[in-house]
Chains A and B, each alone.
Chain A
């Protein structure tokens, strides 16, 4: 409504006038008519009685009647929703790296150096980040979080780490001690792919171990171990966040092998690990 109409204002013009939706010139046109047209003033009065305030009040009451708790539960149960608190922080750091590639490389170098020293002290809090409290009510939530996190890894994430240097033993021992799993180089080494790093993270207040490998063809593969499992699960394939995963659980520990490797190969590797790893 930009042009100034001619002739007598219609009901719709009067309502727009009441709602403040007319331009100053259009409002002036209506005002001029109102000063000389009694019927139009009565019409304005009638339409003004159907005002917005009682409608807003009534609908506010309806909003209060919304089954909000039920709707929130529904939202929490949707696949793909329950990961953002992890991803938000990862995403922020990823954006930072993307916008400052040189600084990021430097920072990555420093971080990797420090990681070797602080391995079991440097706990990344994977929970409670965005301010949205999301309840955990399923055993597989941690795998979704890990998959989202691992989807941010590239070969470059690990390529700066030298293969098979002595600190790996200490890293593995520290991670193993935290998780209550015997982690020896011989038990976690995999044919054809290099063991790069072992570190302890944290998910929902519980330790989460990550042993990262670099495959020259398929990129990063990671064995992740979480200390919160109540089931015995045989190695099972799945896909999350565009990554292939084989997961299993045994004696209160949940394991997942995740990467971009083809599923048959990943299954073989997972089978190897599941037989070797003991508490």
Chain B
């Protein structure tokens, strides 16, 4: 018998595909792997749709599934097959470059985000891009909330270089001359 949760999953899946792909790209750094992750997530979600709690956040549920598939299946398989993990050179920028090359600032930001350690990148993405609270991010990543805070602090410090303070701007310029 079809349950309400199953219907909600089936009806809602289509509206979350692009965001799932983006999360898959943040995790894997590869467009093709991101697509595979979305497909695997949809299959798993349909299989487990009875477990979805009606009225809860479908996007969060799908993100958890995608993350679990990445960590437990795809990532480990790629390591075993020697395909490696995220390569900064085949990064978010390269993968998405064709479509967004006119937006220089976006490319700079993505390049910097891609250079961050995986844990920081994912935490930053979930909190600042997907808008999860610290608590929700901690739950999703299964880490203490303090870990989320310290990762965000480290990520922000790195990204502050993108937008230097006015008094710091002249220094590198004078050195380069």
Chain A residues within CB distance 8 Å of chain B: 1, 10-16, 19, 21, 45-52, 54-59, 61-68, 70-72, 74-75, 78, 80-81, 83-84, 87-88, 90-91, 95, 130, 132, 148, 151-152
Contacts and interface: CB of A to CB of B under 8 A. Distances in A.
Interface string B134-155: 1000000000011001101111
A52 B124 CA distance: 9
- Chain B interface residue bracket vs A: 35 or more
Contacts of A151: 1-2
A4 to B, nearest CB: 15
A15 B156 contact: yes
B119 interface: no
Interface of B: 1-2, 4, 7, 10-11, 13-14, 17-19, 21-22, 25, 31, 35, 38-39, 42-43, 46-47, 92, 96, 98-100, 103, 105-107, 109-110, 113, 124-125, 127-129, 133-134, 145-146, 149-150, 152-160, 162-165
Contacts of B17: 66, 68, 71-72, 75
Contact of A58 (B31, B39, B106, B134): B106
Given A74-B39, A78-B42, A12 B153 contact: yes
Contacts of B134: 1, 16, 19, 21
**Chain A binding surface, main DSSP class:** helix
**Chain B binding surface, main DSSP class:** helix
Given A15-B152, A61-B103, A81-B42, A50 B22 contact: no
B128 A56 contact: yes
Q: Which residue, A12, A21, A47, A90, has most C-beta atoms of chain B within 10 A?
A: A12
Top-9 shortest CB links A-B: A50-B159, A50-B156, A12-B149, A58-B109, A65-B99, A66-B18, A11-B153, A58-B106, A84-B10
Nearest to B155: A50
Contact of B163 (A13, A54, A58, A78): A54
B110 A58 contact: yes
12 contacts: A10-B153, A12-B150, A13-B149, A21-B134, A49-B163, A50-B160, A50-B162, A61-B96, A68-B17, A81-B13, A84-B10, A91-B2
